[in-house]
C-alpha cells in the first residue's frame, strides 16, 4: 500500500509527531505500588490518535462485533471497529477486579474461602479455580486463581473481603473506572456474570484498562503467566491453574491479558504483545467462535507489528 517517497516521508513525519505527543513510558515503582494515572494521561483526545493503514498487508478480517488495537507508547490507533459501543465484556471484568484488589489489599494477606464463594461459581455455572470452603490462600494466589482459570469462586472471595461485600466492591470498581476516564464503562458485578447485572464497557475502554494493568508489575506478571502451581499446605490443598489465553507461548511477545465468555457477551479477549520496542494492546468483543478470537488477535498483532517495523525502517532510512 506504499505510494512513493512522498507518502513515506509523510508517514514518517506523522509517526514522529504522534510519538512526541504520547505519554512518557511508565517507570515501575516496585512490586506493590500500583499505577493510577489521571484520566487525562490516557490517550483519549481524537487529536492525539492517528489511524494508519498497514504498510505491507491488508487489514485482517475481524468477525467479532467490536475490536480496538492501539500502540500504548505512541497512541497510534491501528484498528477501531465499533470501539465505543457499550456491551457486556464477560470475564474481562476481572481485570478491574484485580486492579481494585491491589489498591485495597496486601499480596500476602490471607483470605479464607467460604461456602458462599464456592456456591457462587457452582450455581452460576461459571468457570472456577476449584476452591473449597475453609481453604486459606494469599491474595496473590487468589489473583492467579481469578485471572488464569477465570475463577468466579476466587473473584467472589476477594470481593467479599475487600468490599467488604459484593455491592461495596462493585462501587469501588465503578469509582476506579471514573477516575481512569473509562466513560463508557459501568460494572454490575465483580466477575462479569449475567446475574444480577453484567454491566457494560467498550473495546476502547477495555484496551485502555489493559494498558494500565500492564504498567503494574504484579498484574503484568499474573496476566502473562501460562501456568501457576499452589503447593499443598496445612491450610489449603494443591492447585494447578492454567491460563485460558492461548496467545501466550504462541504469539511473539504476548503478555496476556484476559479471556471472557457469556452467552450475551460472546467470546471476548483482551490481549497485548511487545513488538520492536512497541507495546500493542487490543480487545475483541462478541466473537461467535472461541478459538477465532485468538486467531484474529494473532493476525492483528502481526499486521500492526509489520506496520511498526516498516515505520521504524523508514525513519532510519531518512
Find, among 288, 143, 117, the residue nearest to 222 by Cα: 143
Alpha-carbon Rg of the chain, whole angstroms?
20
Find, among 160, 216, 200, 186, the residue nearest to 36 by Cα: 216
Three-state SS sequence of 261-276:
EECCCEEEEEEEEEEC
Single out the catalytic residue among 72, 80, 81, 94.
Answer: 94
Q: Within a 10 A sphere around the Cβ of 295, how many other Cβ atoms?
A: 15
Supply angle C-alpha 259, 232, 140, rounded to 5: 45
Single out the catalytic residue among 72, 150, 190, 270.
Answer: 150
Single out the catalytic residue among 91, 190, 201, 270.
Answer: 91
Q: Quick check: bond before 196 cis, omega within 30? A: yes
Q: Measure the CA–CA gap between 288 and 13, rounded to whole angstroms.
A: 40
Find, among 170, 169, 203, 198, the residue nearest to 184 by Cα: 203
CA atoms within 13 A on the CB side of 108: 2
Residue 197 bears catalytic tag: no
Residue 81 bears catalytic tag: no
Residue 91 bears catalytic tag: yes
**Which residues belong to the active site?**
91, 94, 150
Amino acid at each position: 500500500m506504499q505510494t512513493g517517497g512522498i507518502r513515506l516521508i509523510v508517514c514518517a513525519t506523522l509517526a514522529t509527531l504522534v510519538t512526541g505527543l504520547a505519554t512518557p513510558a511508565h517507570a515501575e515503582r516496585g512490586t506493590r505500588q500500583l499505577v493510577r494515572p489521571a484520566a487525562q494521561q490516557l490517550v483519549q483526545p481524537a487529536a492525539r490518535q492517528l489511524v494508519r493503514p498497514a504498510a505491507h498487508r491488508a487489514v485482517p478480517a475481524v468477525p467479532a462485533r467490536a475490536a480496538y488495537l492501539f500502540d500504548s507508547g505512541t497512541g497510534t490507533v491501528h484498528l477501531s471497529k465499533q470501539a465505543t459501543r457499550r456491551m457486556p465484556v464477560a470475564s474481562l471484568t476481572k481485570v478491574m477486579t484485580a486492579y481494585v484488589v491491589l489498591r485495597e489489599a496486601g499480596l500476602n494477606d490471607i483470605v479464607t474461602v467460604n461456602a458462599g464463594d464456592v456456591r457462587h461459581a457452582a450455581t452460576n455455572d461459571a468457570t472456577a479455580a476449584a476452591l473449597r470452603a475453609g481453604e486459606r490462600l494469599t491474595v496473590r494466589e487468589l489473583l492467579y486463581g481469578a485471572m488464569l482459570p477465570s475463577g468466579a469462586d476466587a473473584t467472589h472471595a476477594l470481593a467479599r473481603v475487600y468490599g467488604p461485600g459484593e455491592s461495596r466492591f462493585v462501587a469501588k470498581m465503578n469509582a476506579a473506572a471514573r477516575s481512569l476516564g473509562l466513560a463508557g464503562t459501568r460494572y454490575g458485578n465483580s466477575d462479569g456474570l449475567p446475574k444480577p447485572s453484567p454491566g457494560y464497557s467498550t473495546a476502547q475502554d477495555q484496551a485502555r484498562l489493559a494498558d494500565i494493568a500492564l504498567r503494574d508489575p504484579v498484574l503484568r506478571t499474573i496476566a502473562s503467566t501460562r501456568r501457576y502451581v499452589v503447593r499443598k499446605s496445612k491450610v489449603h490443598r494443591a492447585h494447578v491453574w492454567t491460563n485460558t489465553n492461548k496467545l501466550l507461548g504462541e504469539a511473539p511477545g504476548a503478555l496476556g491479558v484476559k479471556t471472557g465468555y457469556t452467552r450475551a457477551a460472546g467470546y471476548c479477549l483482551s490481549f497485548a504483545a511487545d513488538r520492536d520496542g512497541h507495546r500493542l494492546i487490543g480487545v475483541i468483543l462478541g466473537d461467535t467462535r472461541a478459538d477465532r478470537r485468538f486467531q484474529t488477535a494473532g493476525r492483528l498483532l502481526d499486521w500492526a507489528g509489520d506496520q511498526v517495523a516498516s515505520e521504524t525502517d523508514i525513519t532510519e532510512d531518512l
